[in-house]
Homo-oligomer: A and B are copies of this chain.
C-alpha cells in the first residue's frame, strides 16, 4: 500500500471558504474555474504543460478518511456540517484541459474545472501545486533537449530537490524528451527507464582506481560506465580501457573544462582502439552548457540541479480563477476581479492552435465564452480529462507519460525554428483573446 490521501494538500482557506459558502448556500452554485498563466517565465519562448496525469491520479485519492476528519475537527478548522460534506466527498464534476506534454502560452486555458463551487474550490492548491511544479521542470527540460539536438539527456537531479519532487521532476523530464532518469521511484511508479554510473565514493572505497574499475566491470559487465575523474583523468581513461577492454560502454567526466576534456578523451579512446566507448558528461549542466558542448564529442548529458530547479524558473506562475458561476436563477454569470496588476478575464475559455498550411503554429486563439472557428489544420486544445467524476482513460500511469511525451514531440515540431533559441525573447506565437 503506497498511496496516501491527497485531501490535505490543501490550503486552510479552501475549507473555511467551503464552510462559509455551505452556510450561505452559494457552495452549490455551478462554477467554472480555470488554471492559466498570465506570462511565461522571463524570456522563455514557450511553456510545457506537465502534471496533468498526476492531477488525475491525485484526484482519485482526494478523500477524507477518519484520520483527516479528526484532524480538521480537533483543530476546529471547520464546523460539523462541513465535516459531513467532506466525509463522503468524491469529485463529481468535469475537467477539460490541455493534453499533458502540450505547449502553452500566456492565458492558455490549461485546465477547466466545472462543478459546484464547493467541489472546485477545494482542489485549488492541489491542482496548482502539481501543474506549477511539473510544468516548470518540463519547460526547462524541453529547452535542454532542444539544445542537445538528439543527443540523449539523462535526468540525474534527485539529490537537489525534495524526494517526492524528484519523482515528479523525473517524470516531467521524460515527458519533455529526456531519455531516462536515475530515480528508481520514478521507474517504479511510471515505468521510466532508469540508469546509473558510479560515484567517486566507489573508487575511493577500493584500494586503487584499478581495483574499483575491476570490481565494477566484474559485477556490471564491460558495457558499464566508468567514472574516470577521481584522480587523474588521463590515467583514469587508460586504466578503464585496460580493465574493460574495447567493449567498455562509456566513461563519465564530472569536473573541469568538459569541452576540452571531451575532445582529448575522445582522441585518447580512439588511439586506444575504443571507438565505441561513449563519453558522458555531468557537472552542473544547463541548456547553455549543453549548447556549448555541442561542438565536443559528447554522447550523453547527465543533468541535475538546473533541471530540477527549472533552470532559473523553479515554479510556473499558474493561477486558478473562478471565471463563471450561476446566480440564484441558475443563469451563468461571467466573473473577474478588478484588482490592480492582477485583473483577469471572466468567462469560460476555449482554445485552438492555429496551424498554417506548412504545418507551423502561428497563433494561440482563445475564445472567451465560445469556441474559436478552426480551419482544417488547426488543433482543438482542450480535451476531456474527467467527465461527471470519471477520470478518462489514457492519461495516468505509464501510459499517460508515454502519450504525453508523444504529444510533446509533435507539438514542438509545429513551432517556428525560433522556439529553439536559448536567448531571451517573446513567446514564439502570440495569444489572441477573442471576445464576441
Q: Oligomeric state, in number of copies?
A: 2
Q: Is A362 an interface residue (CB 8 A)?
A: no
Q: Is A75 an interface residue (CB 8 A)?
A: yes
Asked if B163 contacts A17 (CB within 8 A), the reply is: no
> Chain B interface: which of A193-201, A273-281, A422-430?
A193-201
A123 → B minimal CB distance (Å): 11
Q: Is A396 an interface residue (CB 8 A)?
A: no
Asked if B158 contacts A195 (CB within 8 A), the reply is: no
Q: Is A21 an interface residue (CB 8 A)?
A: yes
* Residues of B contacting A310 in the complex (Cβ-Cβ under 8 angstroms): 314
A residues contacting the other copy or chain, number (CB 8 A)? 113
Which residues of A from 117 to 131 have beta carbons under 8 Å from B? 117, 121, 124-126, 128-130
Interface residue from B200, B314, B315 paired with A321 (Cβ < 8 Å): B200
What are the interface flags for A136-166 relative to B under an 8 Å C-beta threshold, 1 for contact and 0 otherwise? 0000000000000000000010111111111
Interface residue from B68, B129, B203, B305 paired with A158 (Cβ < 8 Å): B129
Asked if A201 contacts B322 (CB within 8 A), the reply is: yes
A207 → B minimal CB distance (Å): 7
Interface residue from B12, B158, B201 paired with A125 (Cβ < 8 Å): B158
CB-CB nearest in chain B for A195:
B12
Q: Is A132 an interface residue (CB 8 A)?
A: yes
CA distance A83 to B344 in the complex (A): 55
Contacts A9-B163, A314-B314; is A339 near B254 (CB within 8 Å)? yes
Asked if B337 contacts A184 (CB within 8 A), the reply is: no
Interface residue from B182, B215, B335, B338 paired with A26 (Cβ < 8 Å): B215
Interface residue from B16, B199, B231 paired with A220 (Cβ < 8 Å): B16
Closest 9 CB pairs of A and B: A13-B196, A12-B196, A24-B215, A164-B164, A128-B159, A201-B322, A20-B219, A8-B185, A133-B162
